Structure 1
């Protein structure tokens, strides 16, 4: 018994010794001896092989003395698995179950069950036309201009048992297929064209074209075919298995002995690809019980020539062009048969016992093990938002107003150098007001700047490293670093995003990644249509979170500065003279910068007021540097989410709970529409569309009286309707910049060149 509790004799009972190579058979003997079995066990099992010689097992057994890397029982188990014969046995009992007629056999690449396949008989042709046999063979395998190697001469070799073998010489290689066919048709005699052959030995032919110089592998000019042959299987079963495997066989020839010679289409570009494809063919055959003579691998190998006699038997062509059309078609067919896709299931089977839904990782937005895309324009702070999410999950807190379930996070950093990334995490922690984090161990960072691989290569490496870490989320930032293929190709992007599925499925973790917006204005688009590239990015994720910038008005920014200044003055008065603040500062004063400044002059010493004013200047700068964003999303698993408005105040996003951002409308990218026909706009009809240049030029023509300078506020008033709606000063500046004939000089609008 092996350490695994397997009875190797039981395993060998399911393994046919005749399908093994000589070395594999020897390995079985060495493994049996290592595991404590006897030479009689090996001998008894080997007797069913036609190659068996009495006493050979016992002679070999005495030579197995072991070495530094002994052959163990696992070798026998692996051979049984490779040849599709292994069913685990423990303590002499099967650990499996009885199969019904509807049971599925899950054995990779096993298409044919050798034990159940019915042999397909082959009979020698009654009408024997050797010349036509050989001509058909040549026409099937070769172009007329390709040189053909063939052998009709032999030499004798005597074995240790006194058996005389007829071995082929190097033969000939100096004529093309076209020339041989021409001469065969002319002389109607194989011996006259190719040379007389020994009828006891037969004749051979090389199935790949040669350069006319020699018959080595280096002389092969095209790697078209490979030889598939077995010497120890029933001929009828060989025929049946070869056909059931749908191998792309160009010619199938009876050797005149105990094997068929299948010349299989390989069509490799070079020798490296030839070896890979031949190994694949041989492995598929091996998996399906067709024992390969592995000595036939090389491309210059000889095969049996049809149209000649061999020891009283015909070497004849059985068929041509059977199975799949070519190697690629056959390869796709094999792979399709062995996909890992689940079978369809009946809804009725689960109707009363529904599976549990995956738990929510981000409440109302994303489930564990699902995928999420965060899309946004440049400067939206997408990376900061992802770091904020990492922290929110690690600490079990809110992210942009959404509750997160605590868990472990792997943050895959593809863009920042390691120090910058680590500092950014600390900056965001501090920006969120968390000076002493409690759950830093919940965040792992994989720094891959300058080391990123295409996602299909990165995914298995990521899975291997993360397999035992029990991550709730894997965050990949950004994906352009690992993007494979054209982002506008649906097919290529589907292959790319499938890698996220693999990561999510293998790890049971949510996969979250970010991508940039397409060019142009995004306000008129749905959130799922804003990401750049193929629509796959809109359809693939289970959740899309999208950030669109809000166009801040000057009034709103002024109000932000006002509130910031009042807050700073208030804090300074309280810190200096708390009693004064509560006795003298009224509610009305708290809404006026001038009133608060008056109180500051009374309550705060001069040197402290100087420091306070520095803070006010920094606050004004921070307001100018901040941006505002509207977050909306498309969710597959949940009801539509409410829009969330946030400020991005480096380095964090802060949810706007005041409502000041709620009324800002997104720029839809369309030219601004004047509400109605009016004298002021020169009679433009409602809904008329003009370019930004035309709009500015027309407005300037109306406003320019040749005396007073035209200011930005004049243009803003011109485009504002009676309800107070119109473009912001920032938008007007953009219109001017986008190609008008004017420029802004200290809030004055001047003609270019002035």
Structure 2
């Protein structure tokens, strides 16, 4: 069965001695789920010589029914240990979950072109000198050494050959004690280490032990790792090991078809040892050296030099090869693969400076740079980004800034596809722009498909390559955020993905983020974004939106201005001469006066249409919000704050200056606001109440007769409160619920 063979092959990449108990059980459960036998599990488990117990796999096998652990567990373990699927090398259509991998990463040499390096067997054979040299190279004199000369026999079920397996061996003497005894043995190494079978050879543990055992827990220093490969010519192994500049402390010929390279890893603990060995093995495999994964164990046995095995010598080829230590080698490997540019002298370019990147948003952002828009949830950030996408596509203005025309990608992570498409059309209409260049807008709808940014970035780059985008807009980033947003290093990794997109595509990357909790008016613009300060300091342009506190008087003023404007336009269309002769500037400041003029000029039907339009306009004024745009720029000088209205579904810049003197919400603390309120005199309070009543009366005259109920509804007060306001004002009368203005005395 092909699937079965595949899983058994994958087990070659998984060393049972490196697994904890539960991971070992998971392998058994996965094998049973996929139709394998307990013998398959048992055969693989035998590789963990220290923990293997005959019959244990068969006892546990019957308890694995319905575990839910599948073959995918084994596949993932194998991948973690360097296995790659042959199918990944074939051409196929990429799925959503596919990741782009660059096979050339960490590939330094090509094993197909490297020439083998000859190995010279020692002519003056001296076993004592070989073993002593090995011990002096790897161990300090006081460190305990583990070695094995005794073996037990097994019979290979397939070939019938006798196999010699090492026992636990000895571990009770130090390197100094062994060297002293060897120097006194007169060449009889068996008297020191014990006699060995020439059919089997002898072994030694390359890391020092604590003198109490030979398991991983008994390793006292995680100093070395074993690199061994036996699937290519031994001369080529020698050449690759040297070309890779591995920090090899000692290189030993196994007496058969492999070399044993004892590599310096200098790990502080077991966890670091595992990580460094994984890295080491990965580099070796990338460069054609198919390392035996079973050798990951820090207490692993390696071939002892100075021993003859089936007539073949186990001997030292060389010591201290390659880089001097792990850090030097690791830095060398990373330097060869970091794709960083060379350092430059300013003198070479001072009089011939390169051209600056052209602007994308005039005075705000250059092409190929990054921009963050930050603001609270009700600021309409998504609408603003859609407006920006349209501005770039049409070469129009965005919030008053001119955009360069070009191809733009809008990555939609939040809206369903239909809503996103409708929203673009609605914004086009509200902006009053003709969709002459909608071909310049591409939308990538990923709601329900979003993945972390470090996985999304390569997918985006691959799909966007050669599209010629001058801008990529990602909305919103919380859908692809990875890590703790308050962690500087994690957010630096996150925002680095935007750099990759900008660099690979040569386009600007624009994204939005939310404000932190609480009022923002008393903060600087770059301190308002939620999470780590990386968010504010990473982009080349930070555009921040903060809400302005709109007073009731300003709302009334805006309603009056819009109503008067609509009346004026209607009167002009019907009878411009009347408007020019009878409607003065003062009249245009009063809704009631404009209503009187409209009744004289407009027919009842047209008047009704105009008043319906006014009611809709007033309603839109009531629901709109006011915002101030501030920014922190890296490439351009700081701009003056831009005030604007958000009137669904678009933002409109306040060209008149109505919002100039209004403060953002929360700029003054609550205690100060209350204090300022308490400072008002009774006369000031009465004037505010009278002015509010005057504004309400003027607005209600649109409907003709003004009633107590309409005033109360408009002012948001009770009938009783409005009655008291009318009484205190003195300029209005009220009869049977109707309210009128007291005629001025002649």
Partner of 1:440: 438
SS of 2:128's partner is coil
Shift of 1:117: 11
CA shift, 1:379, in A, is 1.2
* TM-score normalised by structure 2 residue count: 0.63
- Shift of the alpha carbon at 1:431? 0.5
Provide, for residues 49-84 of structure 1, a one-character-per-residue CA deviation record: whole Å limited to 9, x for no partner.
Answer: xxxxxxxxxxxxxxxxxxxx9xxxxxxxxxxxx999
1:466 counterpart = 2:464: yes
Deviation at 1:547, TM superposition (A): 1.6
Aligned counterpart, 2:728 = none
TM-aligned CA distance change 1:324 to 1:477, over 3 Å: farther
Deviation at 1:334, TM superposition (A): 1.8
8 A Cα contact 2:106 2:283, kept in partner:
no
**Deviation larger for 657-666 or 388-397:** 657-666
8 A contact 1:377–1:548 mirrored in 2 = yes
Question: What is the RMSD of the two structures over their aligned residues, measured on CA atoms?
Answer: 5.3
CA distance in structure 2 between the aligned counterparts of 1:275 and 1:130, rounded to whole angstroms? 27
Q: Provide the residue aligned with 1:281 in structure 2.
A: 283
Report what 1:171 is aligned to: 165
Q: Which runs of 5+ in 2 are unaligned?
A: 1-86, 88-101, 209-221, 693-715, 722-746
* Per-residue deviation, 1:535: 2.1
Report the equivalent of 2:564: 566
Q: Which residue of 2 aligns with 1:335?
A: 334
Name the counterpart of 1:410.
409
Unaligned runs of 5+ in 1: 1-68, 70-81, 85-105, 158-166, 210-221, 287-291, 673-689, 718-743, 749-754
Pair 1:131–1:107, CA change in 2 (3 A): closer
Shift in CA distance, 149/108, structure 1 to aligned 2, threshold 3 Å = same
1:351-500 alignment runs, 5 A limit: 351-434=350-433, 436-500=434-498
Among candidates 657, 660, 664, match of residue 659 of structure 1: 657
**Do the aligned partners of residues 275 and 637 (structure 1) sit closer, same or farther apart at CA in structure 2, a change above 3 Å counting?**
closer
Distance across 2 between alignment mates of 1:411 and 1:590: 44
2:346 is aligned to 347
SS at match of 1:459: helix
The CA deviation string for residues 440-497 of structure 1, in whole angstroms up to 9 with x for no partner, is 1110001111211111111110011110211111001111111122222222222111
**Distance (Å, rounded) in 2 between the aligned partners of 1:83 and 1:168:** 41
Tell me, in whole angstroms, the C-alpha distance in 2 between the residues paired with 1:126 and 1:453. Answer: 62
| Preserved CA contact (<8 Å) 1:418 1:447 | yes
User: Deviation at 1:137?
Assistant: 9.8
Deviates more, 1:410-419 or 1:596-605: 596-605
Contact 2:225 2:262 in 1 (8 A): yes
The 1:363–1:83 alpha-carbon spacing in structure 2 relative to 1, beyond 3 Å, is: closer
Closer, same or farther: CA 620–194 of 1 in aligned 2, 3 Å: same
Which residue pairs with 1:19 in the alignment?
A: none
The alpha carbon displacement at 1:584 in A equals 3.6
Q: How many residues align?
A: 570
C-alpha distance 692-657 of structure 1, shift in aligned 2 (>3 A)? closer
> Partner residue of 1:551?
549
The more displaced of 362-371 and 184-193 is 184-193
C-alpha contact (below 8 Å) 1:200/1:312 kept by paired residues? no
> Contact 2:164 / 2:200 at 8 angstroms: preserved in 1?
no
The equivalent position to 2:648 in structure 1, one of 642, 647, 650, is 650
Deviations 1:166-215 (A, max 9, x none): x9823233557459999989998865798744558744568899xxxxxx
Q: Is 1:253 the equivalent of 2:252? A: yes
Kindly tell me: are residues 340 and 285 of structure 1, through their superposed partners in 2, closer, same or farther at Cα, counting changes over 3 Å?
same
User: Which structure dedicates a bigger proportion of its chain to helix?
Assistant: 2
- The answer on whether the counterparts of 1:147 and 1:173 sit within 8 Å (CA) in structure 2 is no
For residues 305-316 of structure 1, what are the structure 2 equivalents within 5 Å?
305-310=304-309, 311=311, 313=313, 315-316=315-316
Cα drift, residue 588 of structure 1: 3.2
Q: Secondary structure at the match of 1:409?
A: strand
CA–CA distance in structure 1, aligned partners of residues 103 and 556 of structure 2: 79
How far apart in 1 are the matches of 2:542 and 2:171?
Answer: 63
Residue 538 of structure 1: aligned partner: 536
Look up the SS of the partner of 1:429 in the other structure.
Answer: helix
